[in-house]
Amino acid sequence: MLASVEPHVFPFDNSYARLPARFFARLPPTPVAAPRLVRLNETLARQLGLDPARLSSPNVYSSIDGFGRYAYGNQPPIAQWNFARLAETLLPFLAEDQEAAVEMANDALGKFAGRFQPAYAAGLRRKLGLFRERQDDGALAQDLIDRMAGNGADFTLTFRRLSDAAISTDGDAAVRSQFTDPTAYDAWAASWRQRLATTAR
């Protein structure tokens, strides 16, 4: 539980689960298409009475998270750490010999970073409307993310409204409205539009 959230501020009572079974059906959760690109929905956080700045901060606000494992920037290495813990439980099924099983698990885990980073970069390129890979695409995307973080821009809404801005500069106003300092977006957008102009070449 987040240390900053008191029970009376953010109550949660799953009353439906306490009803007789005939009143509801248990369904498996719907998989998220690209979970590595999911981020805090600041609008929803505000509606729930939570402070988006505290939730998206690199600082630690969880009473069980003394090392900041769940901070957004730490998610990739922590995903690998979680896979390692899962692999430990699967060792008996990988091979009868423990050393052989550990070697197999380490071999698989060693491929994580090499697969994650290209997939993450490809996801960001799609969000920016860049369909041909270029070496500086990662820097362009990271620059936007840094400007968003520094200006309280909602992750989901910014990328959604960028899709309109990619079609016409008329869409810029909606993106700018996400930034406490809209000129931070303007400076980035100039570079982005130059890159968009070359994406079909």
Q: Which of 82, 108, 80 has its CA nearest to residue 94? A: 108
Nearby residues of 193 by Cβ (< 8 Å), 6 or more positions away: none
Strand partners, 2: 62
How far apart are the C-alpha atoms of 162 and 174, rounded to whole Å? Answer: 8
104-145, pLDDT tens digit by residue?
999 998 898 888 888 888 988 999 999 888 989 989 999 998
pTM for the full predicted model: 0.58
**pLDDT at site 140:** 94
Distance CA 184, CA 201 (A): 28
**Every domain of the chain and the residues it spans:** 129-201
The pair of structure tokens assigned to 88 is 């430990």
Per the CB < 8 A criterion, the answer to whether 185 and 179 are in contact is yes
Q: pLDDT tens digits, residue range 9-64?
A: 444 455 656 667 766 677 776 776 665 545 566 776 677 666 666 656 554 444 44
